[in-house]
């Protein structure tokens, strides 16, 4: 049986994506050696609530850098294929750890953003949201006087309860669970493959490096670019994989 035939025969396919899904768009991931964001910046110094409150200037600079980088990048063909598979009823839901909004931009409708979105900033006081480009123009406070912050989950912050519940339910109901481009090192996202597996799903992991959950998977593909693998699977789907 191939991954394409599992996709064809699946009742409910759920996809978990990580930063490896967007490197072919030009966005760095976090833990790739040398090129990963955490190889160049210290997350505990910059991507925490403590940094937001007590190292505000470096926090702002770091997120201005990330927002600026995001503005220079676009979804790639892999994002568009996943959106097309949703259209064709092959994929039901994408649960993403990414904050780039590329799945929605590529046309995916059912997307759960576990770690929020870098597309907006919001006021810590009144909650009002604004497009994140305002952060680049030095707009750091809200009209109400509150401090603006990127709408991403910072290290040490809990994920919104509703988001976790939704993601858990999707993983629980999946009969095929695809992991694309994640090192699966961050909780609670890295619990989702377990939840799917415990409920009888097949697990497929497509990731350049080995992950700690490879032993659980029914199929693992390493050292292949996600964009290329998805393209090959799509060709098999089109040819009508047995």
Torsion, Cα 142 147 151 152, to 10 degrees, reads: 170
Q: Are 21 and 76 in contact (CB under 8 A)?
A: no
CB neighbours of 199 closer than 8 A, spacing ≥ 6? 171, 172, 173, 174
How many angstroms separate the Cα of 96 from the Cα of each of 10, 60, 124, 127, 186?
20, 24, 24, 23, 12
Of residues 30 and 63, the one with the C-beta less far from ligand APR: 30
Percent helix, strand and coil across the chain, each to the nearest 5 = 40, 20, 40
Q: Are 8 and 236 in contact (CB under 8 A)?
A: no
Binders of ligand APR among 131-150, rule CB under 6 A? Answer: none
44 contacts ligand APR (rule: CB under 6 A): no
Of residues 142 and 177, the one with the C-beta less far from ligand APR: 177
Question: What's the CA gap between 222 and 218, in Å, rounded?
Answer: 13
31 contacts ligand APR (rule: CB under 6 A): yes
Among candidate residues 76, 79, 103, 115, the one labeled active-site is 115
115 is catalytic: yes
113 contacts ligand APR (rule: CB under 6 A): no
The answer on whether 226 is annotated among ligand-binding residues is yes
212 contacts ligand APR (rule: CB under 6 A): no
Of residues 120 and 183, the one with the C-beta less far from ligand APR: 183
Site string for ligand APR, 167-196 (x = CB under 6 A): --------------xxx-xx----------
| Structure tokens given for 130 | 């604004």
Q: Give the one residue of 3, 7, 14, 19 binding ligand APR; rule: CB under 6 A.
A: 19
Instruction: Give contact residues for ligand APR (rule: CB under 6 A).
Output: 18-20, 23-24, 29-32, 36, 97, 115, 181-183, 185-186, 207-209, 225-226
């Amino acid at each position: 049986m191939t991954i394409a035939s599992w996709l064809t025969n699946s009742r409910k396919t759920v996809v978990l994506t990580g930063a490896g899904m967007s490197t072919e768009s030009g966005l760095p991931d976090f833990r790739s050696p040398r090129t990963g964001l955490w190889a160049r910046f210290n997350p505990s110094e910059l991507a925490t609530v403590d940094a937001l409150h007590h190292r505000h200037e470096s926090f702002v600079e770091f997120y201005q850098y990330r927002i600026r980088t995001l503005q220079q990048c676009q979804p790639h063909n892999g994002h568009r294929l996943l959106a097309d598979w949703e259209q064709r009823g092959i994929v039901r839901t994408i649960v993403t750890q990414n904050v780039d909004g590329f799945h929605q931009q590529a046309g995916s409708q059912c997307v759960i953003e576990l770690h929020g979105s870098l597309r907006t900033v919001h006021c810590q006081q009144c909650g009002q949201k604004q497009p994140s480009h305002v952060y680049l123009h030095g707009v750091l406070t809200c009209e109400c006087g509150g401090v603006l912050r990127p709408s991403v989950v910072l290290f040490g912050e809990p994920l919104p309860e509703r988001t976790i519940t939704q993601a858990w339910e999707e993983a629980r109901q999946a009969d095929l669970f695809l992991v694309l481009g994640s090192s699966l090192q961050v909780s609670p996202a890295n619990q989702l493959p377990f939840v799917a597996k415990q409920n009888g799903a097949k697990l497929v992991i497509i990731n350049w490096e080995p992950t700690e959950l490879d032993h659980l998977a029914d199929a693992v593909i390493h050292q292949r670019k996600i964009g290329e693998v998805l393209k090959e699977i799509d060709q098999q789907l089109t040819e009508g994989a047995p």
